[in-house]
Structure 1
């Protein structure tokens, strides 16, 4: 058990939470569904995949291909603490919009992105655009994750119809194992992700081309390096900060998480994916991208 440090509203309730919860549902046909929940104090998605796949190998009598590395002291704050960067992911965005949707019923849909759609979005993402300083910029390369994150952030801003001056933010989840110097050891088991933020006025999100929004997302991702990460850890040590989620869209990628290769002896699973998280995921499944919504969760697979 661990104590929660607070919630998205900034309340420090300090409730005891389980570090992990497993649930097996058996079906009459003989199949079963395995549900797994991890506290992010304990593990991130990469560590969760390593755990469940190692569990499957153990069940089949196989040796572990990657023993876990459990030394958490690698991610300790420095002494003395040095906060050397602005960490905008913790900023509270002022509310200047009158169009609030808190009382409206939210409808969830399952949406597919095929390869042609993704190619078109990526082509649009690399069109020339004028940056905040008036310089003409071209994104020479763009990942599917960056393009779809920007596409959905832009579409969300248009759908919400906020005041043009309203600041809106996207939080992008970055795996930082190879961002540290030296990089974290292979098999590091723990929470080694960081939220990096891009912020923009609603007017620009709606009116500027998609390539402009992609540039903001890429700039936020490039910001994550060893120096910035060390500053973040020191900031968290001094503030125990909670990320405000007002006017914020959260995006992550599961495209490299091998949940689909889990095997307890009956073969690989028929289907895998997130159940309920307030975040947008990019998950690769059979060469297609699929969007599902669950409590603000948009899953692309």
Structure 2
């Protein structure tokens, strides 16, 4: 598909008002970076300094040379050869009839899950991680048992505000 990764159109009206329209691809912006872009665009339009100064220093995200792996990375293991062809695409699940249900967890429910997860170890467990682990466990237990079946859960983490110097 041939399309622009970002398009912006500004329409001004005789009354002095204006409208801004845009299209973008999620590969161009995530939510936070798009908000930052709009904040800076508004600052430029108001003839003010940029709200957030961009950092274009790419070496901040570069791998070490030579590589130094200090702990195992099981999330990167190869899970075996994935089948190819029209019947094995990522949209295979769309052929199934899916059920939808919302489960509401109260603060007490989450606290109980945290207490069970921590046990006597005294480890720190976040609310997000304990709920994610619980949902993943329920999903794994709902499938027929298969000792050879691998199960993986991955989620995106915004590390920009933890990095030094800050990445914008």
Give the TM-score normalised by the residue count of structure 1.
0.38
Q: Provide the rounded CA distance (Å) in 2 between the counterparts of 1:112 and 1:141.
A: 21
Q: Provide the rounded CA distance (Å) in 1 between the counterparts of 2:143 and 2:120.
A: 29
Asked whether 1:184 is paired with 2:165, we answer yes
**Structure-2 residue corresponding to 1:169:** 152
Q: Provide the rounded CA distance (Å) in 2 between the counterparts of 1:85 and 1:17.
A: 41
Q: Would the aligned equivalents of 2:44 and 2:50 in 1 still touch at CA under 8 Å?
A: yes
Q: Give the secondary-structure state (helix, strand or coil) at the position aligned to 2:107.
A: helix
**Structure-2 residue corresponding to 1:215:** none
Q: Which has the higher helix share?
A: 2
Q: Provide the rounded CA distance (Å) in 1 between the counterparts of 2:101 and 2:32.
A: 25
Cα deviation code 1:56-84 (max 9, x no counterpart): 44456554221211111222223333334
C-alpha distance 138-35 of structure 1, shift in aligned 2 (>3 A): farther
**Structure-2 residue corresponding to 1:158:** 141
Q: Would the aligned equivalents of 1:128 and 1:137 in 2 still touch at CA under 8 Å?
A: no
Asked whether 1:75 is paired with 2:56, we answer no
Q: Provide the rounded CA distance (Å) in 1 between the counterparts of 2:24 and 2:34.
A: 9
Asked whether 1:21 is paired with 2:9, we answer no
Q: Give ranges in structure 1 of 5+ residues lacking alignment.
A: 1-14, 25-30, 96-101, 190-301
Structure with larger Rg? 2
Select the residue among 13, 27, 36 that pairs with 2:24: 36
How many residues are matched?
A: 150
Cα deviation code 1:69-125 (max 9, x no counterpart): 111122222333333432222212369xxxxxx464153747474xxx241331222
C-alpha distance 34-151 of structure 1, shift in aligned 2 (>3 A): farther
C-alpha distance 172-62 of structure 1, shift in aligned 2 (>3 A): same
Structure with more contact order per residue of length (Cα contacts < 8 Å, sep ≥ 6): 1
Q: Would the aligned equivalents of 1:122 and 1:147 in 2 still touch at CA under 8 Å?
A: yes
Q: Provide the rounded CA distance (Å) in 1 between the counterparts of 2:42 and 2:3.
A: 26
**Structure-1 residue corresponding to 2:114:** 126
Q: Would the aligned equivalents of 2:43 and 2:50 in 1 still touch at CA under 8 Å?
A: yes
In the TM superposition, what is the alpha-carbon distance from 1:172 to its structure 2 partner? 3.1
Give the TM-score normalised by the residue count of structure 2.
0.60
